[in-house]
């Protein structure tokens, strides 16, 4: 897809919980899914809210409720091998969808915690670009998220549910711009 057709569809970060040791690359791997192993090509939507939302939208779009009755269940029974095997095909479809999305990253260093710059920029950037409380209609009717059962997703135009209806501090633009300017480009080698 040409870059002129790209749309911003998710904003996320890592290291916003005190003591968090997760890294950007580990989080992207969780969203991307498994490359090898028993569930190769799939993933675990119970460990990635992004995967959960994409799978829910696919279920709604295609009417697959009977095929995937446990999708999103967080109880121990939903973690059985039989359930994982039954959900594997949908997990693969979710992986295909997410792997096709381009991403942009910005280096925002600092100690993990809810008051860090990453957390502040994430919440304000989501609120800033969300269409949740705006009268403007969708800009891209083919976007899978419009099939989501989550009103926060289909009304905001983002694969996010938190902060989509918040007000935002306009100073986030300057704050984010400063970090963009100081972020070094990645080499062409994929780290995920």
Q: What is the pLDDT of residue 21?
A: 72
Q: What is the pLDDT of residue 187?
A: 65
Inside any domain, residue 88: yes
Q: What is the pLDDT of residue 174?
A: 96
Inside any domain, residue 192: no
Q: What is the pLDDT of residue 60?
A: 98
Q: How many domains does the chain have?
A: 1
Inside any domain, residue 141: yes
In angstroms, the CA 74 to CA 44 distance is 12
Inside any domain, residue 5: no
Q: What is the pLDDT of residue 128?
A: 95
- Answer whether 64's CB lies under 8 Å from 139's CB: no
Inside any domain, residue 191: no
Inside any domain, residue 84: yes
Length of the chain counted residue by residue: 192
Q: What is the pLDDT of residue 38?
A: 85
Cβ atoms within 10 A of the Cβ of 16, count?
19
Run of H or E including 20: none
Q: What angle do CA 106, 57, 86 make, to 5 degrees?
A: 105
pTM, entire model: 0.86
Q: What would the two tokens of residue 121 be? A: 């920029």
Question: Chain centroid to CA 40: how far?
Answer: 20
Q: What is the pLDDT of residue 27?
A: 78
The whole domain housing 71 covers 13-182
User: Could you read off the pLDDT tens digit of each residue along the chain, which spans 192 residues?
Assistant: 666 777 889 998 876 677 667 777 777 788 888 888 888 888 889 889 999 999 999 999 999 999 999 998 887 666 688 888 999 999 999 999 999 888 888 999 888 888 889 999 999 999 999 998 776 656 667 899 999 999 999 999 999 999 999 999 999 999 999 999 999 887 655 555
Using alpha carbons only, how large is the chain's radius of gyration in Å? 17
Inside any domain, residue 21: yes
Nearest-CA neighbor of 122 among 158, 156, 163, 161? 163
Inside any domain, residue 7: no
């Amino acid at each position: 897809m040409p870059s002129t057709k790209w749309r911003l569809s998710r904003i996320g970060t890592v290291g916003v919980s005190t003591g968090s040791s997760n890294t950007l690359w580990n989080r992207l791997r969780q969203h991307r899914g498994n490359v090898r192993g028993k569930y190769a090509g799939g993933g675990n939507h119970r460990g990635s809210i992004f995967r959960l939302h994409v799978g829910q939208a696919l279920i709604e779009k295609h009417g697959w409720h009977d095929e995937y009755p446990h999708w999103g269940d967080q109880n121990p029974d939903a973690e059985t091998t039989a359930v994982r095997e039954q959900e594997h095909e949908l997990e693969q479809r979710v992986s295909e969808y997410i792997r096709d999305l381009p991403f942009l990253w910005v280096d925002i260093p600092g100690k993990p915690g809810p008051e860090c710059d990453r957390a502040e920029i994430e919440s304000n950037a989501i609120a800033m670009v969300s269409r949740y409380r705006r009268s403007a209609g969708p800009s891209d009717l083919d976007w899978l998220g419009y099939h989501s059962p989550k009103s926060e997703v289909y009304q905001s135009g983002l694969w996010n549910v938190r902060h989509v209806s918040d007000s935002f501090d306009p100073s986030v633009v300057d704050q984010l711009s400063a970090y963009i300017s100081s972020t070094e480009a990645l080499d062409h080698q994929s780290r995920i």
